[in-house]
């Protein structure tokens, strides 16, 4: 009986080892949680909404960002009703406009008429997501067509400061942060 049990266990170990060799690294619990989300939304709203450009040049003044009835609650409710479980907000795209009142540049939401210059669109989206039970993440473009410091060590410091502002805890738990390789100049 002991020999039989030993043989079965050896066979089981061989099968597990072969499965790992065949399929590579098996998913972790974090991988499985990520895939169970199935569908996430990316929300991209900013100066280009008012200019019709896909990629802005960073030259649209904050005063052009004039949402009259922006309602993140409505957007998030529609996403949640549609089965979306997480939202990634484009907090800064290539035009360099920041949708939160950053200390790193004047090219941000606090310099627009939005909420009388006291708005923080990242915060509004984050809170709407929390209330709807959705995970919240941010996209922060490394390319900044507005910054005169782009492609210098000074810009790297500014960019890191922007990321730190978004991950400081003021926006709750950020489940995911997106970057891309788009750049110019």
Beta strands in the chain (DSSP E): 40-43, 86-92, 135-140, 177-178
Residue 23, Cβ neighbours under 10 Å: how many?
A: 9
SS3 33: helix
Cα three-residue angle 48-68-79, rounded to 5 degrees: 70
Q: Tens digits of per-residue pLDDT, 32-76?
A: 887 887 889 999 988 988 888 878 899 999 999 888 788 999 999
125-157, pLDDT tens digit by residue?
Answer: 999 999 999 999 999 999 999 999 999 999 999
Angle between helices 72-81 and 121-132 (to 10 degrees): 40
Cα(101)–Cα(110) distance, rounded to whole angstroms? 5
- At residue 8 the predicted structure's pLDDT band, cuts being 50, 70 and 90, is very low
pLDDT at residue 5 tops 70? no
pTM: 0.82
pLDDT over 70 (residue 102) = yes
Model confidence at 14: pLDDT above 60: no
């Amino acid at each position: 009986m002991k020999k039989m049990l030993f043989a079965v266990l050896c066979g089981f170990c061989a099968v597990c080892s072969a499965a790992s060799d065949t399929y590579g690294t098996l998913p972790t619990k974090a991988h499985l949680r990520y895939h169970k989300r199935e569908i996430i939304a990316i929300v991209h709203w900013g100066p280009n909404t008012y200019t019709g450009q896909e990629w802005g040049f960073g030259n649209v003044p904050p005063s052009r960002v004039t949402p009259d009835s922006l309602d993140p609650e409505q957007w998030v409710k529609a996403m949640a009703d549609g089965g979306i479980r997480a939202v990634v907000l484009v907090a800064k795209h290539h035009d360099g406009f920041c949708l939160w009142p950053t200390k790193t540049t004047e090219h941000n939401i606090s310099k627009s008429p939005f909420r009388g210059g006291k708005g923080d669109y990242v915060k509004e989206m984050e809170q709407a997501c929390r209330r709807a039970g959705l995970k919240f993440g941010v996209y922060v473009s490394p390319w900044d067509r507005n910054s005169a410091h782009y492609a210098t060590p000074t810009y790297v410091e500014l960019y890191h400061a922007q990321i730190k502002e978004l991950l400081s805890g003021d926006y709750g738990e950020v489940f995911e942060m997106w970057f891309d390789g788009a750049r110019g100049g």
